[in-house]
Amino acid sequence: MSVACCLSSIFFFSACENSEEAIQEWTGTKVLVEEAHNINTLFSQGGRMRARLTAPLMLRYSTDTVYVEFPKSLHVDFYDSTGKKESELDALYGKYFETTNRVYLRDSVVVANVQGDTLRSPDLWWNQATGKFYTDKVVRIKTSDKTVNGGRGLEADQDLSNTYIFEPKGVIAAPPGM
């Protein structure tokens, strides 16, 4: 009887062996991805509409850091506290980090306000909490009274009313008498 018991134990333990791939599949970290098409989203703050985002594709990743990716371009209209459009943004790629309320934008980033002032940069960050854009890359700003080409590094309000270029280079028109 003990020989039969011993043989059945060996058979039982050898039958329960799993491959390393199977173990990894059961215990490994899974990344959940939600996909949505033709996005049209309104963002509000304090009961007032602050922005409207449109994009052809949105992917939301649930990992240790939850983020939303816009891999095929995005467009955002920004609104002031009275609901009037103050500026707009276009980029070929965007990534929104939900826990920090920051957005990374890259590839042909253009921000323009209603006065026609335009900011161009290869990449740009937007802080949703402060409503500010910033980058350490080369920027180009064009306004009705001045053009700055090749400046490096920037911090600006989302309506481009206050812009600070860390290393300005280019042509800047000065008022008469300076």
Q: Using CB atoms within 10 A of its CB, is residue 103 exposed (0-12), middle (13-18) or buried (19+)?
A: buried
- The string of pLDDT tens digits covering residues 27-86 is 666 778 899 999 999 988 788 888 999 999 999 998 888 999 999 999 999 998 888 999
- pLDDT bucket at 129, cuts 50 / 70 / 90: confident
Q: What is the pLDDT of residue 63?
A: 84
Taking the domains of the chain in order of start, what are their residue ranges? 31-167
- pLDDT bucket at 7, cuts 50 / 70 / 90: very low
- pTM (2 d.p.): 0.77
Q: How far apart are CA 52 and CA 8, in angstroms?
A: 67
The CATH fold assigned to 31-167 is lipopolysaccharide transport protein A fold (2.60.450)
